[in-house]
Amino acid sequence: MARATGPRGPYSYCDSKEDLLGRMRKIEGQARGVTRMIEEDRYCVDIVQQLTALASAAEEVSLRILEAHIKGCVSDAIREHRGEEAVNELMATIRKAIRR
Amino acid sequence: MARATGPRGPYSYCDSKEDLLGRMRKIEGQARGVTRMIEEDRYCVDIVQQLTALASAAEEVSLRILEAHIKGCVSDAIREHRGEEAVNELMATIRKAIRR
Amino acid sequence: MARATGPRGPYSYCDSKEDLLGRMRKIEGQARGVTRMIEEDRYCVDIVQQLTALASAAEEVSLRILEAHIKGCVSDAIREHRGEEAVNELMATIRKAIRR
Amino acid sequence: MARATGPRGPYSYCDSKEDLLGRMRKIEGQARGVTRMIEEDRYCVDIVQQLTALASAAEEVSLRILEAHIKGCVSDAIREHRGEEAVNELMATIRKAIRR
């Protein structure tokens, strides 16, 4: 179910799909954990630390998908002489990830 | 259920508890959404964008809790002449949030 | 030469002025070093690493000034019942530093 | 004067060397400006804002060099079947830039 503008899948992160899904399930658990901490009136600093860990874990998944993306989709595009567009899209994505 | 080292609750973010819980439920939904995108082999760049939005939303919750923390717990501590420790803890928290 | 909207100085970072000035001079040197690397056509990855170190050093100075600011200006404001405005200004500053 | 481990130059950022050097000279000026603000005991928040602008400008230069690097060095490496190592080095660089 790739979106219209992306290249046709399957994409290269599929090799590490189980690792990524495991990380996402942990992040889902972290999000529920923070919700519960707020419901239970837990100490502010402890909640912020959990949120930092959650954001950091989300970035780690991003970095792993980006790596697979560059080794897969972007490398394919470069070899097939349509690298310009792929790299522009990649840079816009990295820029947003850095700037948040 | 405050941890031993924190000041006694309830904490000052409680005034905006509903806003924070609404944001956390949205983040939980974003996390489940990303899991599903990976399961469905969606396009890498689309997934990374969702993860960036998720991390950014988590940081927004952090900033709001930090603000309530400074206006509440830290301000109380400063007025009661135990500001030094409270500010050291605050700075360690901000440092980790910035450095990730 | 404090700006009109800030509280009257001297400010609390003055205690660590020598440390901060030493760090800033190192940052000035890092900036000149990167300029030179570009002039000399040095390897891209090496230049980016130097820029990351430079940005990281600038953030460290920010964190140290913020800490002195909270322990000094903001604490004074809280004790003198004008904490609201000081904390709002502080949060806007932290928000920009985190979001960049 | 490329370092031993990098591919032989000139590198692809050379096309935009004047733009990059202009940005670096501005960053050098920003660094000197912050040094002066500290010497003159300027208001903490104003200094932190300038440091945030400086770090942000350094990141912008990084992003531009990274873009040229991917379009040049990394693309060449991929076309010449030595993409694996180039992408690993790239990812380590992006990771450090994001994590700081």
Q: What CATH number does residue B23 fall under?
A: 1.20.58.1000
Q: Is the pLDDT of residue B85 over 80?
A: yes
Q: Is the pLDDT of residue A43 over 90?
A: yes
C68 domain residue, yes or no: yes
Q: Could you tell me which chain C residue has the CA closest to the CA of D86?
A: C45
Instruction: State residue B15's pLDDT score.
Output: 81
Q: Is the pLDDT of residue A55 over 90?
A: yes
In this predicted structure, which of A8-12, A57-61, B57-61, C58-62 has the lowest mean pLDDT? Answer: A8-12
Rounded Cα distance, D89 and B53, in Å: 26
CA D63 to chain centre: 6
Q: Which residues of D touch C4 (CB under 8 A)?
A: none
Instruction: State residue C22's pLDDT score.
Output: 98
Instruction: Pick A44's closest partner by Cβ from B45, B59, B68.
Output: B68
Instruction: State residue B7's pLDDT score.
Output: 66
Q: Give the residue-averaged pLDDT of B53-61.
A: 96
Structure-model confidence comparison of residues A18 and D97, the more confident one: A18
Rounded Cα distance, B93 and B83, in Å: 15
C27 domain residue, yes or no: yes
The chain A residues in contact with chain D (CB within 8 A) are 59, 63, 66-67, 70-71, 74-75, 78-79, 83-84, 87, 90-91, 94-95, 97-99
A47 domain residue, yes or no: yes
Instruction: State residue B6's pLDDT score.
Output: 60
Encode pLDDT of D54-82 as tens digits.
Answer: 999 999 999 999 999 999 999 999 999 99
Residues of chain C short of pLDDT 50, as ranges, are 1-5
Mean pLDDT, chain A, as a whole number? Answer: 89
Q: Which residues of A touch C48 (CB under 8 A)?
A: none
**Boundaries of domain holding A88:** 17-98
Q: Which residues of D touch B100 (CB under 8 A)?
A: 98-100
Quote the number of domains for chain C.
1
B89 domain residue, yes or no: yes
Instruction: State residue A8's pLDDT score.
Output: 65
Instruction: State residue A7's pLDDT score.
Output: 66
Instruction: State residue D6's pLDDT score.
Output: 60
D6 domain residue, yes or no: no
Q: Give the residue-averaged pLDDT of A55-67.
A: 95
Q: Give the residue-averaged pLDDT of B59-80.
A: 94
Q: Which residues of C touch D14 (CB under 8 A)?
A: 41
Q: How confident is the model at residue A10 (pLDDT cuts 50, 70, 90)?
A: confident
Q: Is the pLDDT of residue A53 over 70?
A: yes
**Residue A66: how many CB atoms within 10 A of its CB?**
26
D neighbour chains, 3+ CB pairs within 8 Å: A, B, C
Instruction: State residue B3's pLDDT score.
Output: 44
The percent helix, strand, coil of chain C (3-state, each to 5) is: 80, 0, 20
C88 domain residue, yes or no: yes
Instruction: Pick D21's closest partner by Cβ from C39, C48, C68.
Output: C39
Q: Is the pLDDT of residue B2 over 80?
A: no
Q: Does the beta-carbon distance from D70 to A59 stay under 8 Å?
A: no
Q: How many beta-carbon contacts under 8 Å exist across B and D?
A: 6
Q: Is the pLDDT of residue B75 over 90?
A: yes
Q: How confident is the model at residue D98 (pLDDT cuts 50, 70, 90)?
A: confident
Q: Output the six-digit token pair for D76.
A: 């060449």
Instruction: State residue C57's pLDDT score.
Output: 97
D2 domain residue, yes or no: no
Instruction: State residue C13's pLDDT score.
Output: 81
Place of tokens 């979106």: A3
B56: Cβ contacts below 8 Å, ≥ 6 apart: A100
User: Which CA distances in Å does D11 have to B17, D74, D85?
Assistant: 53, 11, 17
* SS3 category, D7: coil
HEC assignment per residue over C25-73: HHHHHHHHHHHHHHHCCCCHHHHHHHHHHHHHHHHHHHHHHHHHHHHHH
Q: What percent of chain A has pLDDT over 70?
A: 90
Q: How confident is the model at residue B48 (pLDDT cuts 50, 70, 90)?
A: very high
A2 domain residue, yes or no: no
Q: Which residues of C touch A100 (CB under 8 A)?
A: 98-100
**Residue A79: how many CB atoms within 10 A of its CB?**
14
